[in-house]
């Protein structure tokens, strides 16, 4: 993915990265407004709790709606709304504190429309107010601004109120946001979930993957849900919206499942693929763990092997598959150091030096490599199966299918943790295919087979064994191939 300047100053002198403010394209504003008005044309009052420059409000104004708006920054002259310089999170906190027992807050607004701040990190406001925020958002957690805005809007809305929001799509699958998804499922009707193209905010130097959600407070309005997979670009997305090229699904088809997948929202995934999640998960079958965090890599790791730094350390194979060299060499007395240095953490000590599999933790592609005996490993996902299972599992994990399962379903952000890898379904392969898969990964590791040819053979074996049809295979391959050349 592209990387941009960390400080982005707009015409008002505001650092957009810290404020998390990016203006919404006009066609998105028009679409969301029209969809809300189709569901309920008779509402009167609108709230935009993060109004920015009023980009979302023009079409509500043209329809004669009464509009209130909040923001912590007064960006411009306000033409469409009754603007108040109000911190929406503080506004919500006040409402919660004054709430009587378990009564609903139920603000008077018929429509909420929002493009909340895109701070996906813990900004100063959260750090400085975390204790109080945790009390207010105790059910969904305090992870970033957009998730708190989203949760607060749902809580404030009265029965039947409509919510149109454009928000980071990381919440659709991220484990930390499973309580937010559950809040939506428990309290709202879901009308639409549309993945936005990745270039939607590029003109503002913003590399954020987003989605549009249209919800309604209350469960009794649920019918079919309209979804759209990610368009190739903004022009294609406009066409999809204009021609209404949307797919209808049920609520059950939208959710991957509650028991072990934290109710991930899945968009346009074939039933044959979702059926794979009926198999046992990797974490149910094999140990999938993290390892060492030094707290100071420059002090405790050396790029070269030298006196005092002789133990191989693996922390992220990145795009490397099947085999990888050590990322560094850790200090020989790392166990002793971890006992006296607070930030030097050695987790899962009993697995240190064991033979296993080390997996990528950052970047869009997903990969798995052989972890030799006698090595140490970092906080990326590391798997420790019995020796007989190591090599077939390496092949399976490097398949295009697993790339799709991880990157197309389980996690949409760049960081892949052991928790997500633990959720990969493990088909019940027979011993014959396990032997074939083992030979392939060993051939690559021993330089007898290229990675490209190995993956092609693995894909053929896995797709055939699982009886995945050609149409689904084509979708998986297109996704995996696009991912491999996008970085």
Give the orientation angle of helix 451-465 with respect to helix 431-445, to 10 degrees.
170
- Asked whether 475 and 270 are in contact (CB, 8 A), the reply is yes
What pLDDT does 301 receive?
97
The number of C-alpha atoms within 13 Å of 149 and in the hemisphere containing its C-beta is 29
193 DSSP β-pair partners:
213, 227
CATH number for domain 282-485, candidates 2.50.20, 1.20.140, 3.90.220, 3.40.50: 3.90.220
For residue 229, the tally of other CB atoms under 10 A from its CB is 14
458: three-class secondary structure by DSSP: helix
pLDDT at res. 270: 86
Structure tokens given for 107:
């603000």
In our burial notation (b when 16+ CB lie closer than 10 A, e otherwise), range 79-94 reads ebbebeeeebbeebbe
SS3 403: helix
Sign of torsion, CA 395 398 400 402?
A: positive
Residue range 16-268, CATH number = 3.40.50.150
Establish how many alpha carbons lie within 13 A of residue 120's alpha carbon, considering only the half-sphere containing its beta carbon. Answer: 17
The tokens for 190 are 């879901």
Closest residue by Cα to residue 110 from 52, 54, 156, 72: 156
Q: How high is the pLDDT of residue 51?
A: 93
Please list, in sequence order, all residues whose beta carbon lies within 8 angstroms of the beta carbon of residue 302, skipping any fewer than 6 positions away: 309, 328, 329
Retrieve residue 44's tokens. Answer: 């009167």
Could you tell me if 200 and 25 are in contact, meaning their C-beta atoms sit under 8 angstroms apart? Answer: yes
- Residue 237 contacts by C-beta under 8 Å, 6 or more apart in sequence? 196, 197, 200, 231
Distance CA 125, CA 210 (A): 23
Residue 127 to residues 2, 87, 132, 142, 342: CA-CA distances in angstroms? Answer: 27, 16, 10, 10, 21
State how far the alpha carbon of 282 is from the alpha carbons of 149, 183, 426, in Å.
34, 28, 6
Which phi and psi (to 5°) does residue 282 adopt? Answer: -55, -45
Counting as low any pLDDT under 70, the low residues of the chain are: 1-22, 100-102, 119-123, 202-207, 257-262, 363-364, 412-414, 484-487
**pLDDT for the residue 8:** 42
| Distance, CA of 460 to chain centre | 29
Q: Domain extents for the chain?
A: 16-268, 282-485
Q: In this structure, what are the phi and psi dihedrals at residue 28, rounded to the nearest 5 degrees?
A: -70, -45
Q: How many CB atoms lie within 10 A of CB 311?
A: 19
The pLDDT value given to residue 205 = 53
Short-list 145, 169, 177, CA closest to 18: 145
- Of 47, 69, 44, 154, nearest to 105 by C-alpha is 154
pLDDT digits (tens, 9 = 90+) for 307-352: 999 999 999 898 899 999 999 999 999 999 999 999 999 999 999 9
Q: pLDDT tens digit string along 247-278?
A: 999 998 898 865 545 688 988 888 889 889 88
């Amino acid at each position: 993915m592209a990387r941009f300047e960390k400080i982005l100053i707009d015409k008002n002198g505001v650092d957009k990265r810290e404020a998390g403010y990016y203006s919404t394209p006009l066609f998105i504003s028009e679409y969301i407004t029209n969809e809300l008005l189709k569901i309920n044309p008779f509402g009167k009052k609108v709230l935009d709790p993060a109004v920015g420059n009023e980009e979302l409000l023009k079409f509500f104004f043209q329809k004669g709606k009464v509009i209130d708006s909040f923001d912590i920054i007064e960006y411009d002259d306000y033409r469409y709304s009754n603007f108040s310089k109000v911190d929406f999170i503080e506004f919500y906190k006040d409402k919660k504190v004054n709430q009587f027992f378990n009564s609903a807050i139920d603000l008077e607004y018929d429509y909420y429309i929002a493009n909340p701040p895109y701070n996906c990190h813990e900004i100063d406001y959260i750090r400085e107010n975390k204790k109080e925020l945790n009390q207010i958002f105790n059910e969904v957690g305090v992870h970033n601004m957009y998730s708190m805005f989203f949760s607060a809007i749902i809580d404030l809305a009265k029965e039947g109120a409509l919510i149109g929001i454009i928000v980071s799509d990381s919440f659709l699958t991220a484990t930390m946001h499973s309580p937010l998804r559950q809040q939506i499922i428990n309290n709202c009707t879901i009308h639409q979930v549309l993945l936005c193209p990745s270039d939607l905010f590029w003109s503002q130097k913003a590399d954020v993957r987003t989605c549009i959600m249209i919800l309604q407070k209350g469960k009794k309005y649920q019918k079919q849900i309209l979804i759209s997979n990610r368009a190739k670009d903004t022009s294609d997305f406009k066409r999809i919206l204009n021609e209404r090229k949307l797919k209808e699904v049920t609520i059950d088809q939208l959710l991957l499942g509650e028991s072990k997948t934290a109710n991930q929202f899945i968009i346009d995934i074939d039933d044959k693929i979702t059926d794979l999640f009926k198999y046992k998960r990797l974490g149910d079958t094999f140990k999938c763990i993290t390892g060492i965090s030094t707290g100071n890599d420059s002090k405790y790791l050396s790029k070269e092997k030298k006196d005092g730094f002789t133990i191989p350390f693996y922390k992220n194979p990145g795009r490397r598959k099947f085999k990888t060299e050590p990322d560094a060499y850790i200090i020989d007395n790392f166990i002793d150091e971890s006992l006296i240095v607070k930030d030097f953490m050695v987790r899962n000590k009993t697995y240190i030096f064991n033979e296993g599999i080390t997996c990528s933790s950052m970047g869009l592609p997903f990969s798995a490599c052989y972890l030799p005996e006698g090595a140490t490993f970092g906080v990326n996902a590391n798997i420790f199966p019995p020796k007989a299972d190591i090599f077939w599992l390496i092949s399976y994990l490097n398949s295009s299918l697993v790339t799709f399962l991880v990157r197309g379903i389980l996690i949409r952000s760049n960081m892949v943790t052991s928790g997500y890898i633990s959720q990969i379904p493990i088909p019940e392969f027979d011993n014959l295919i396990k032997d074939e898969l083992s030979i392939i990964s060993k051939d690559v590791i021993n330089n007898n087979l290229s990675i490209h040819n190995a993956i092609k053979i693995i894909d053929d074996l896995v797709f055939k064994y699982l009886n995945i049809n050609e149409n689904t295979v084509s979708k998986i391959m297109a996704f995996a191939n696009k991912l491999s050349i996008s970085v």
